[in-house]
Structure 1
Amino acid sequence: MRGRGPHHPIDYEKEIWDEWMCPPGGDDVWQRGIKAFKKHCHQCHSIYPDGHVSSAGRSDWGPTLWNICGRQAGILKGKVGEGQIRCSDYLQDLGKNGLVWNDANLMRYMRDPRPFTDVGDSQIMMRFQGIPDMGTRIDILTYLHSLRPFDPYGEGVMHNLKDRKSWKGVTLLGHLPMA
């Protein structure tokens, strides 16, 4: 994938090929993934199906990462069903043209998000510059795989939401394909 804009595109084919899949990781990888997620992602993204903001972070700037693995790009606009966050037209177009958040594309995005965003869009105010370390990205991806229904951790996330008002009427995005 090549980026748009004035930056120098990265040759991802040398690092991640299209069929690349996250290697299985144990609890140690998953625990590192939680820590790395909190450091790099939690400030802007929710892990909850309803996209609510946690008390520990400003997670209302980006769409929820609940069930992100295998999801079509650009289909969520922030909090599920509320449309509070503008997903870039460019990312929506990429999704309409078949971009799916599979393991390879998530790794590429975490390495350098610029090819996935329209750098000329003044509505996109993302400060995330990417994570160069492949091991850290694998740790985060291992954690992201647990943010879905029927995963023990994902079930715990859903259980914690049952008492929230925002839980009523929330889809779990279960109709979307999972990796």
Structure 2
Amino acid sequence: METKDKDSEDLAHFQPVLSYEFKQLFYDADLSAGEEYFMRKCSSCHDSEKSDTHGKGPNLWNIFGRKAGTAKGFEYSDAMRQSGHIWNFATLNYYLTRTERAVPGRIMNFRGIRQDKYRAKLLLFLSTMNDVAPVLPK
């Protein structure tokens, strides 16, 4: 049996891809359910409004296309700053599945969202929080 190097799973060393099945979840996802999920699970730390202010976590406006750990005015962990990845549907999905696996040593105290349908709804909502909305993966 092949063993996987633990570092090979973090976003500094791994480029995730979305499965066809996961991509299809976006087209069935309810945007308002994604916003509700964000408000319930994320809004106590992250802001969804276009602003330069941060809460306990960084403001998530324009997260798509942003290099991890680079939102001006927020103090990130060394692990997040050094991860080097760009946030997109695949990297956000991977991160939100199991945050510790994706960025070991991150400060964010959140274990992850295990159910695909909830991550898809949340990612759909997050994609609306950009000056230019990213194109949904096909």
TM range (shorter): 0.7 to 0.9
Q: Secondary structure at the match of 2:27?
A: coil
Distance 2:78 2:131 in 1: 29
Gaps (5+ residues) in structure 1?
A: 5-11, 54-59, 152-177
Deviation at 1:49, TM superposition (A): 2.5
TM-score, L = length of structure 1: 0.58
Residues 1:117 and 2:103 aligned together: yes
Q: In the alignment, what sits opposite 1:30?
A: 31
Aligned counterpart in structure 2 of residue 141 of structure 1, from 123, 130, 133: 123
Q: In the alignment, what sits opposite 1:87?
A: 76
Matched AA of 2:111: Q
* 1:104-160 C-alpha deviation (Å, 9 max, x unpaired): 1100111111134343x7xx2x32111101000000000011112256xxxxxxxxx
- Contact 1:22-1:103 at 8 Å conserved across structures: no
Counting only pairs closer than 5 Å after superposition, residues 18-57 of structure 1 correspond to structure 2 as 22-23=23-24, 24-25=26-27, 29-52=30-53
Distance 1:68 1:150 in 2: 11
Q: Which has the higher contact order (CA 8 A, sep 6+)?
A: 2
Deviation at 1:93, TM superposition (A): 1.3
Gaps (5+ residues) in structure 2?
A: 1-7
Name whichever structure is richer in helix by fraction. 2
Could you say if the C-alpha distance between residues 131 and 19 of structure 1 is closer, same or farther in structure 2, counting changes exceeding 3 Å?
A: closer
* 1:49-100 C-alpha deviation (Å, 9 max, x unpaired): 32446xxxxxx01111111122211111xxx4xx2x31111211112xxx11
- Contact 2:95-2:103 at 8 Å conserved across structures: no
Distance 2:32 2:50 in 1: 21
Count residues with an aligned counterpart.
124
Could you say if the C-alpha distance between residues 25 and 19 of structure 1 is closer, same or farther in structure 2, counting changes exceeding 3 Å?
A: closer
Q: Secondary structure at the match of 1:130?
A: coil
Residues 1:70 and 2:56 aligned together: no
- Contact 2:68-2:80 at 8 Å conserved across structures: yes
Distance 1:138 1:110 in 2: 10
Distance 2:38 2:75 in 1: 22
Could you say if the C-alpha distance between residues 142 and 51 of structure 1 is closer, same or farther in structure 2, counting changes exceeding 3 Å?
A: same
TM-score, L = length of structure 2: 0.73
Structure 1 runs, 4 residues or longer, greater than 6 Å off: none
